[in-house]
Structure 1
Amino acid sequence: MKQTSKKFNKIYAMQLATIFLGFIIFGISENIKGPAIPRIQFDFHLNEEQLGSLLSLNALGYLIACSFTAVLVRKWGIKAASILSFASMLISGVFIFISHTYPLFSASYFLMYIGNGMLEIALAILGARIFVKNTGTMMNLSHAFYGLSSTVAPLIATGVMSVQVFGHALDWRGMYLVMLSLSLLPILTALRSTFPGDDLANESRTPLKELMRDPALWWMVLILSFGVVSELAVGGWLVNFLEKAYHWDTVKASGMLSAFFLLFALARLFLGPVTDKIGFTFSLIIFSGLSALCTFAAIVGGESWSFLFAAAGIGIAMIYPTVMAFIAKRYPRGSDTAITFTVTLMGLGSVIGNYVIGFVIEIVKKMYGVGNANGLLRGLQAGYGFIALCALLCSVCGCILYRYLKKRGELI
């Protein structure tokens, strides 16, 4: 009995280690781009629209990975799929390091987002399978590691870029190699663990056609899409905004991004039990509305109110894990399929969202004339306003879903 319990605890410990380390790597790979993007833009002579297109192209790789990862999970199991996702990011770090032409860099960056997309699905499935009790709390706790790593990632990335090795600075290429090499750690824990659910017969799973007939799933797609565009866009655009709109240096701007993710992580760490208590749907309305309010106020208030950019992290942090908890509870026999479907369509929204932000900035800049400093400021404000709009739309969709579920007595 004791041996069985000890073995179970060891396996569960390795499962938790894989999930927590996985979210740490995920946060690092997503958010080290903040301080690197201005340098990438300078090295390859990209304007804001081209930069938005680059981020959208890589989000497309993320989308593609989401679509085929479910097939890999069914055929090879979640363990193999998880290890492959970490390996993809490790390899992409090597190729980014050696990329000195834009085509090679684009391909390497694309591969990293393939790994990110695979990891997104793998970690969501693992969470849905393992966290069967206190789902909202545990989902938010695991996602808090994403927030914690995202908090320190911009500052660490800035520091690593200035490190001298044999008389040469690592710069952004070396930084990507160093940071993505950390993917080796969760590979080792995954190799030492086993994961539940791979033995569930296909006929026992809820089919996709049945899931797609549920309007609640479609509202979840919209909520997750708007929420994640608002969340991920901060990592790509906040440092750029603060440097160009308010002429902040990279360290100060990266500090604000880190503050955003610190509050982001703390919200997931401490507010998870709130989602279990007040309900997942109501939580989505409240927290996404808070994020929208803070972001709009930061834009309108100007530089003196820029701290509200960081405060927006409290609200937007809760969206993704709460949606995953909702899916795990509503579709216990079809969580893998529902997660894949929802996250894949979310990825499409992310592709469009990044492009729209860059497009809006360029359009507003051109309205004021090329080289007009005020035009750049207004363009950046308009682009960031789109991020706030996405959070607001997330809240609106949550209200519609709440009304739909309440009428049927299906609130979770």
Structure 2
Amino acid sequence: MNTQLQTTVSNPQKKSYILHLATIFLGFIIFGISENIKGPAIPRIQLDFRLDEMQIGTLLSLNALGYLIACSFTAILTRKIGIKWVSMLAFGSMAVSGIFIFLSHSYPMFTASYFLMYIGNGMLEIGLAILAARIFVRNTGTMMNLSHFFYGISSTVAPMLASGLMTVTVLGYTIDWRGMYLAMLMLSVLPMIPALMSKFPGDDHPESERTPLKQLIKDRALWLIVIILSFGVVSEMAVGGWLVNFLEKSYNWDPAAAAGMLSAFFLCFSAARLLLGPITDRIGFTLSIIILSGFTGICTFIAIFGGESYAFLFAAAGIGIAPIYPTVMALIAKRYPKESDTAITFTVTMMGIGSVIGNYAIGAITSGFKQLYGSGTELGLLRGLQAGYGFIGLCALICSLFGIVLYRYLKNRKQLV
């Protein structure tokens, strides 16, 4: 009798968990695709609309603007209508934006459609983080890293898929960039199916059980988490924009070799998210952040100042920095189980602002050191690139340093996770 009852209870729970996993994993795949199909499309968009570089820059800046706007209301919307319908809205808005982009034959309409896509993108990032925080109550570090592994894989293949799709001809019609955006963004419908069939935990928490944001931001640990995540994300995201440039101009590598090193970085990055999750669960999230970000910082500085023979350490740095974002999300999920939506939204919003400042700082440092050592000289170029890329390594070390501060803060209060 007890066995039958246990089976009756566990089977629906198992089915529900599978639907949750499908929503989250498919969601991260869609997130990676939507963020990374623009690379091959931008030159064609520029040609079609006859855009100058300033207009392209404005278009891409909508990414950050839409992201920050989405951050500002997603947590509130989650409390009003629940994370299930927020997820449906995020996926749905991305699919609709694909239709509008396909129909866009003027720059203003295309800009509005692109902005809508990034509103959906921002909602999706926050929504997936909240979903994962609520679902992964066991083996949180492992599951968070595994989820972000799917983002990494889709980010890797998205540019290749986009490039291939834009050359396909169907019934005499070349799909081009508009058809590519339509096809890729309509994939957002797929995770809507398990999301619609699921009931997600957390939406039934009474408002009285939740800690308001005003009280939450008085927690010193939350601000330390913001600092850790901001510096960690700058160190992670800046590699894609600066590594190839550094190798080509500092070591005179040809573009194929430099791109190969960037691919090696992402290979190490993806492998780390797939394999290191269980280790973060075993040794603790805060200690993992200290060790892994410290490893990245050390690898980066040795690669910069050790010379060309140590360039492989640029790729190895991906091992340490990859788990930082998902591990911080796991830390938030464990420390703020009932307020994860508010804590994640606040943290990611602050991180977004910090990463904008950080990426600007890299360019400013590079230019400053070039001028200091002679802007028109090879030495000036080398020192500028070393200083700029050195800031990327410094961000990883600062991430580790504030991890130590957080570790001591939590340990003194017996709140380590």
Q: Same fold (TM over 0.5)?
A: yes
Cα distance between partner residues in 1 of 2:257 and 2:173: 24
Cα distance between partner residues in 1 of 2:356 and 2:111: 15
Cα gap change, 1:75/1:153 in structure 2, threshold over 3 Å: closer, same or farther?
A: same
Q: Secondary structure at the match of 2:392?
A: helix
What displacement does 1:46 show? 2.8
Identify which range, 370-379 or 350-359, moves more after superposition.
Answer: 370-379
- Listed one character per residue, the Cα deviations across residues 17-51 of structure 1 (whole Å, up to 9, x for unaligned) are 0001111122223334456667778974438xx97
Aligned to 1:260: 265
What displacement does 1:341 show? 1.3
Cα distance between partner residues in 2 of 1:30 and 1:212: 30
Amino acid at match of 1:326: L
Identify which range, 126-135 or 360-369, moves more after superposition.
Answer: 360-369
TM-score, normalised relative to structure 2: 0.83
- Listed one character per residue, the Cα deviations across residues 217-270 of structure 1 (whole Å, up to 9, x for unaligned) are 100001111112222333455556667775644x76555444333322221221
Q: Secondary structure at the match of 1:199?
A: coil
Aligned to 1:315: 320
Cα distance between partner residues in 2 of 1:291 and 1:185: 36
Cα gap change, 1:16/1:208 in structure 2, threshold over 3 Å: closer, same or farther?
A: same
8 Å CA contact 1:31–1:235 kept in 2: the answer is no
Aligned to 2:292: 287
Cα distance between partner residues in 2 of 1:336 and 1:98: 35
1:16 to 17, 21, 43: 21
Aligned to 1:234: 239
Counterparts of 1:367-382 in structure 2 under 5 Å? 382=387
1:198 to 194, 200, 203: 203
Q: Greater Rg, structure 1 or structure 2?
A: 2
1:127 to 128, 132, 153: 132
Identify which range, 172-181 or 125-134, moves more after superposition.
Answer: 172-181
Q: Secondary structure at the match of 1:294?
A: helix
Q: Secondary structure at the match of 1:233?
A: helix
Cα gap change, 1:30/1:345 in structure 2, threshold over 3 Å: closer, same or farther?
A: same
8 Å CA contact 1:154–1:258 kept in 2: the answer is no
Cα gap change, 1:7/1:405 in structure 2, threshold over 3 Å: closer, same or farther?
A: closer
Cα gap change, 1:170/1:373 in structure 2, threshold over 3 Å: closer, same or farther?
A: farther
Cα gap change, 1:368/1:110 in structure 2, threshold over 3 Å: closer, same or farther?
A: farther
- Listed one character per residue, the Cα deviations across residues 88-133 of structure 1 (whole Å, up to 9, x for unaligned) are 3333444555667766555444333322221121111111111111
Aligned to 1:78: 83
Cα distance between partner residues in 2 of 1:369 and 1:174: 48
8 Å CA contact 2:205–2:338 kept in 1: the answer is no
Identify which range, 165-174 or 1-10, moves more after superposition.
Answer: 165-174
Q: Secondary structure at the match of 1:79?
A: helix
Aligned to 1:60: 65
**Residue 349 in 1 paired to residue 350 in 2?**
no
Cα distance between partner residues in 1 of 2:179 and 2:384: 32
What is the percentage of aligned positions where both structures have the same residue? Answer: 69
Structure 2 unaligned segments of length 5 or more: list them: none
Identify which range, 253-262 or 108-117, moves more after superposition.
Answer: 253-262
Amino acid at match of 1:223: I
Higher RCO structure (Cα 8 Å, ≥6 apart): 1
Cα gap change, 1:211/1:181 in structure 2, threshold over 3 Å: closer, same or farther?
A: same
Q: Secondary structure at the match of 1:124?
A: helix
Aligned-residue RMSD, C-alpha: 3.5
Aligned to 2:280: 275
Cα gap change, 1:304/1:355 in structure 2, threshold over 3 Å: closer, same or farther?
A: same
Amino acid at match of 2:21: L
Structure 1 unaligned segments of length 5 or more: list them: none
Cα distance between partner residues in 2 of 1:214 and 1:288: 23
What displacement does 1:395 show? 1.3
Cα gap change, 1:108/1:387 in structure 2, threshold over 3 Å: closer, same or farther?
A: farther
Counterparts of 1:41-56 in structure 2 under 5 Å? 44-46=51-53, 55=60
